Amino acid sequence: MAIIKHISIRKAPKEFLGYILNGNKNDHAKLASAINCVAEVDGAYEIMKTLYNINAPQTLIGKERENGKSSVKLHHYIQSFSPEENKNLTPEEAHKIGEEWVKKCFGEKAVAVISTHIDRGHLHNHIAILPYTLDRKHIIDNMETLEKYRSISDKICDSHGLSVIKVRKHKNTAKYKEWLERQNGTSWKSKIAEEIDRLIVDDNVHSIDDMKKQLERKGYTVRLGNYMTIKLPKMEKSIRTRRLGDGYELDDLIYRIAHKDKEISDAAIAKFSGEQKIYALYYRYMQISIFHPVQKSKPRFKYEQLRRTADILTLMNSENIYTSNDFEEKIRLNDENRRGQKREIERLKKRKKYFESQESNNNYAEEERNIDSAIEGAEILLSKYEEERARYIECYKEFLKVTQDNMYEELKKNEKERESIAEQIYSERQNSAGRNISDNPNENSTSSQSER
């Protein structure tokens, strides 16, 4: 397989050409070639400088733009092949793949230098592309074009009998190298994340300082400030926890420790039943997907979604809500309470109006003050009922999205490695079913009562 990475060269283009054409790295220029250019530092620089100055609004060695940022002088692409391919891939074939990739991505009019380096444990091509072609087309790089170039590289590798990364559609916080290490179980970042996950549910960890002490006892070097930075024993590299993925920001870790009961385990799921268990299984699925990603893809969930789902599960558990019917009953009772409270407020206001129409005396004034106090209390209680109703409806809608009939197939479609969880959800669904809620919950409440 080959991984494509892009770097914009904004300064010192000649020095950059000198690096990629270093004879100690490319078998003394035997693995260097050019398209509409020459594979030699001085010659390549002069050709590229001339063509750049003709086409670009700024010269190759021009000053920075008004915004303080230099324009892109050259595009630097690195095409890295997996060390596993060394047995089947020769340096010459790797170089040929690089040339083929340049022509298919940028066309025959591109101005490029290709140099294959063999000085590392894996073969890799360094490719310099002038931002302007011979027919004066401007070459730009963004995420869309990069994904296109990666796809072309995959097809070329496949045609040469090399493996490809099958799922590679979105940018993630983890880089491709990290993804490959996770696949092989050698990722040091993954080890740190797993250690943090274990400590979060540890009964002896009650604060972020407790977590720091526990990590230090295990040999980690930990710094706490605006961020949490961790270094593995016997390693020079350190990393901010936020780089481990969603849910590892310092604030998120503090929240997760304070709400460790929401870090649901497989054993805890067994305590739930009915549709509540389906939701618990889905929460576990989200948790695994966020904290233990196993493939390079756009994260399906955000940590904020996990928090929200945990809050809904907590509400269901505390309010003894096990099915969609239970939700509807809660909303129905809330509607009754709200209507009763509104009638009480209206009654108090009429009584107040009556006293205001009477001749003033001390008895009436005292009674009026009591009524004002009662109205204020009733309005506060009504406000609480309104908030409770809004929370019930919002949670109910989210609950139905998870317990709807197509959730089983949806899980299988997006995360095949989570099929065991999907199978559990499918099994639970046999005895439970969800229905859509309308904006007017009274309609659903009425229908559910008739069913009951």
Looking at CATH, the fold of the domain delimited by 2-166 is given as BirA Bifunctional Protein; domain 2 (3.30.930)
**Residue with structure tokens 């720091």?**
212
Token pair in block for residue 86: 């060394």
**Residue with structure tokens 């690195």?**
78
What pLDDT is recorded for position 18? 92
What pLDDT is recorded for position 280? 73
Other CB atoms within 10 Å distance of the CB of residue 279: 26
For 27-71, what is each residue's pLDDT tens digit?
Answer: 888 999 999 999 999 999 999 999 998 887 665 555 544 444 578
Query: Which residues, including other chains, have CB under 8 Å from residue 263's CB and lie 6 or more apart?
Result: 197, 200, 201, 256, 287
Instruction: Give CA–CA dist 74/139, Å, rounded.
Output: 10
Compute mean pLDDT per 10 residues along the chain, 452 residues long, and list them. Answer: 86 90 88 94 92 76 52 91 81 94 95 91 91 91 86 89 58 47 58 82 85 91 89 82 79 77 61 70 68 54 70 78 84 91 90 73 69 86 88 82 56 47 51 41 37 32
In the 8-state DSSP scheme, what is residue 64? P
What pLDDT is recorded for position 418? 47
Query: Which residues, including other chains, have CB under 8 Å from residue 250's CB and lie 6 or more apart?
Result: 208, 224, 226, 227, 228, 241, 242
CA atoms within 13 A on the CB side of 269: 18
pTM of the model: 0.41
What pLDDT is recorded for position 297? 52
Would you say 247 and 303 are in contact if contact means Cβ atoms under 8 Å apart?
yes
Burial zone of 264 (CB within 10 Å; 0-12 exposed, 13-18 middle, 19+ buried)? buried
- With residues binned 3-state (H G I as helix, E B as strand, rest as coil), the percentages for the chain, rounded to 5, are 55, 10, 35
Instruction: Give CA–CA dist 280/64, Å, rounded.
Output: 55
Query: Which residues, including other chains, have CB under 8 Å from residue 371's CB and lie 6 or more apart?
Result: 348, 351, 352, 355
Burial zone of 252 (CB within 10 Å; 0-12 exposed, 13-18 middle, 19+ buried)? middle
Q: Residue 116 pairs with which residues in a beta bridge?
A: 125
What pLDDT is recorded for position 28? 86
Domain ranges of the chain: 2-166, 183-262, 264-452
Other CB atoms within 10 Å distance of the CB of residue 83: 12
Helix, strand or coil, per DSSP, at residue 238: strand
What pLDDT is recorded for position 291? 62
Sign of the dihedral defined by the CA atoms of residues 27, 28, 29, 30, in that order:
negative
**Residue with structure tokens 């001085």?**
42
What pLDDT is recorded for position 48? 93
What pLDDT is recorded for position 402? 67
**Residue with structure tokens 């756009």?**
298
What pLDDT is recorded for position 170? 39
**Residue with structure tokens 């006293």?**
355
For 189-221, what is each residue's pLDDT tens digit?
Answer: 777 887 887 888 777 888 899 999 999 998 999
What pLDDT is recorded for position 67? 45
**Residue with structure tokens 């890295």?**
80
- Measured CA distances, 331 to 318, 324, 339, 381, 443 (Å): 16, 11, 12, 16, 11
